[in-house]
Amino acid sequence: MRRNSVLTLATVLLVVFAHAVACGEAVDSIASDDLQGTTAHCFQDITMDDFQPIEFNADRLLVKGPSVIGFEGPRAIIEFETSVPTPAAVIHFGPITLAGDVREALFRKVAGEELESSETATVHRIEVNVSRLESSSYDLHYIEDGGGEVAYRVEVYDPRWGSAGLYDRRFRYTREGPRKTGEYALALTMTFGPFIDLVGPDSFVISWETDVPAHGAVILADRTFADPDVSLTHEVVVDGLLPDSEYEYRVRYGPDDAQTRVFRARTAPEEGAGGCRFAYASDSRGGAGGCEHSLEGVNHATFKAILAGAVSKEVDLMLFGGDLIDGYTTSEEAFRSELDSWKRAVGMVAFSLPIYEGVGNHEQLGDYLSAPEPGHPGNRFIVHRDREGAESLESVFSSEFTNPTGSCYGFSLRAEERALDGAVVAGPDYAETVYSFNRGNCHFISINTNYWFTGVMYDGTTVRFPSDQEGTALALRLVGGNREGYVLPYQLEWLEQDVAAAEADENIDWIFVFSHEPAFPNGGHLYDAMFWGQPGKGHEGGLNDHAVPLGDVIDMRNRFWGVLAHSPKVVAFMCGDEHNYSRTLIDTDIDPGFAHPVWHIVSGGAGAPFYAQDTSVTWVDKVAAFAPVNHYCVFDADHEKVSLRVYSANGALLDEVPDLTTYGTTGASE
């Protein structure tokens, strides 16, 4: 059930107190020597009684709808409600087309709201005449089918920003009798999907959502795979299939047995047979440029170009390493709404292209606590922390997507972690955010580098610490949790087990690990990730202080990278967070303990604003390529080699490596 779940102050304090006691930490005050820097003295007497829960990024322009409430003749009545009065809105509408393996909305017509030019309103109503799509000049299927699916985009002016907000939706209608004069009615609509996931040699999963509960089924040529549950969400396993074979399927849903178009799906080859071509990208959250560059928390303009590009390269699957959305909110409803926007974007290809999602720092849903800065009226200190149980970021994220659960080799991952004093503290369930799977001769591992994420937030009235290290150290001591970019011990042990199993698997030639936070950042995130340093100072500022909560960042990173470098099958670690492209060779020149070279590939170019390169890092000579541009990566793995091509969103080839498994002395492949 979707709901806004901001904890009460009493609940927050109870959870915080229990966590701090388990960690052996005092919650009554923070000693000044726990922090370094000029602001430390301000917080020596701060207590949890000083904190109050606040809402954060919970105020959206659209607070209800848009949705179709019914028909008046051929006119669909669409209503929505805004949080502040806005001028008359418009709706762009048209058919949804399918060209090969890309599905797109074609906004052919416009309908306007009937408000006086000087009027504003919070409740909006627009009539959309769907018969305008049924003329011989524009009709694609509505006349013959007696109705169909309509895509529409609400465009409404947001006076808070002085810009237009866009909101994409779709609905289905039926028509009895002639166009224009027949009887029009709203029909049950598939709001999301179909999506294909968990593609194996003999099966795959098809999922979708509808606007009202209904039965559903997946139809192959001669077989039906039914979901008998009356539900809004459906996940249907289609099994008994042949390896490396193409199938056509439809989804049947609703009381009128509506059917989708025919979509294509291909099963995976037998494990060990054949290779794998896959795409990698991350950081599709809202970008600069307005309108479709930041459509409900997602940069649709850039991300859709990348999705279409990946499909044109005929990839078998896509890995996405986090920062899907803007996030950072206390509102579960707002968080899910942005994830819905992301699903609308991938809906153009995800009916045939399986996409495996990971968590980034912007997938932040939790509690925000605010305290006044001592001695500075008006200034605040804000901490955020993940929630527990079904309300945690990990659980909510997993409920929105269909990903593998845990290791394909059967290793379990404990949803608890060792604290500072060695005590075991329960954390959120890792759910479907940490997992592994095989495809052909490749093994893929998703790591959650933003698990149980605690941190500090800044706005115009909040304290700026001399460094983020200090603010986060204080937040961790107050509310527990985990540091951004930190891989806790049990997850690290799980990774070690999983890599070792893939190393021993004769069917696996190559191992690829993906996550969000860089292990060796090159620009934009030296101040956190797996470094927690100071930009411009290279390795000098890297955090490795065991007296600070989870402060052994460099030691942790080296343990993490040591697991990857232990196996010669590990080709690359793919990540994002930094909004650029970089390819860096990490080998024994970086650390003698890194037995085998592994590529560190940052690909954070799916829509978020750019970061420049920081050339002060000590591994700068190992950076073989760098480009601050929207892009995606395409890997080709066969039994002999792994090649890489990197394309910009507009199709230009940015980088090409014929074989990532042959290493040159300068960090570039030969």
pLDDT-based confidence at residue 321 (cuts at 50, 70, 90): very high
Residue 8 has pLDDT above 60, yes or no: no
CATH fold group of domain 276-657:
Purple Acid Phosphatase; chain A, domain 2 (3.60.21)
- Spatial neighbors of 178 by CB under 8 A, at least 6 apart, are none
Banded model confidence at residue 9, pLDDT cuts 50, 70, 90: very low
Tell me the three state secondary structure of residue 132: helix
393-400 helix and 332-346 helix, angle to the nearest 10 degrees: 30
How does residue 524 score in pLDDT terms, banded at 50, 70 and 90?
Answer: confident
**Per-residue pLDDT band at 32 (split at 50, 70, 90):** very low
Backbone φ, ψ for residue 194 (5° rounding): -75, 150
- Residue 376's φ and ψ, nearest 5 degrees, are -135, 80
Count of CA atoms in the C-beta half-sphere (13 A) of 208? 28
| CATH code that applies to domain 200-266 | 2.60.40.10
Backbone phi, psi, residue 541, to 5°: -90, 0
Return the DSSP state at 6: P
What are the residue ranges spanned by the domains of the chain?
Answer: 62-188, 200-266, 276-657
Mean pLDDT of 211-234: 94
Q: Is 35 helix (H, G, I), strand (E, B) or coil?
A: coil
Residue 117's pLDDT band, with cuts at 50, 70 and 90, is confident
Q: What is the CATH number of domain 62-188?
A: 2.60.40
pLDDT band for position 41 (cuts 50, 70, 90): very low
pLDDT of residue 522: 94
pLDDT, tens digit (0-9, with 9 covering 90-100), for 658-668? 999 997 533 34
The larger pLDDT score, comparing residue 288 to residue 515, is at 515
Q: What is the pTM of this model?
A: 0.92
Looking at residue 400, the DSSP 8-state letter turns out to be H
pLDDT score recorded for residue 28? 36
Long-range contacts at 98-102 (CB < 8 A, ≥ 24 apart):
98/261, 100/311, 101/264, 101/311, 101/349, 101/351, 101/352, 101/353, 102/307, 102/308, 102/311, 102/348, 102/349
Number of DSSP helices (H) and strands (E) in the chain, helices first: 8, 35
Average pLDDT, the chain: 88
Four-point Cα dihedral 345, 287, 616, 619, nearest 10: 0
Q: What would the pLDDT profile of 273-284 be if each residue is shown by its tens digit?
A: 989 999 999 999
Classify 48 in phi/psi space as left (phi over 0), alpha (psi -120 to 50) or beta.
alpha
Maximal C-alpha separation, the chain: 80
Which pairs count as long-range contacts for 610-614, CB under 8 Å and 24+ apart, including other chains?
A: 610/579, 610/580, 611/523, 611/524, 611/525, 611/578, 611/579, 611/580, 612/523, 612/524, 612/580, 613/522, 613/523, 613/580, 613/582, 614/521, 614/522, 614/523, 614/524, 614/526, 614/535, 614/536
Q: Between β-strands 204-219 and 581-586, what pairing exists: parallel, antiparallel or unpaired?
A: unpaired
- Does 276-657 match 200-266 at the fold level? no
What's residue 142's pLDDT?
78
Closest listed residue to residue 600, CA positions, set 535, 649, 539, 667: 667
Q: What pLDDT digit, counting tens, does each position of 386-430 carry?
A: 998 999 999 999 999 999 999 999 999 987 776 555 667 788 999
197 vs 71: CA distance, rounded Å: 36
The confidence score (pLDDT) of residue 44 equals 58
CA 500 to chain centre: 28
What was the pLDDT predicted at 668?
41
Beta bridge partners of 595: none
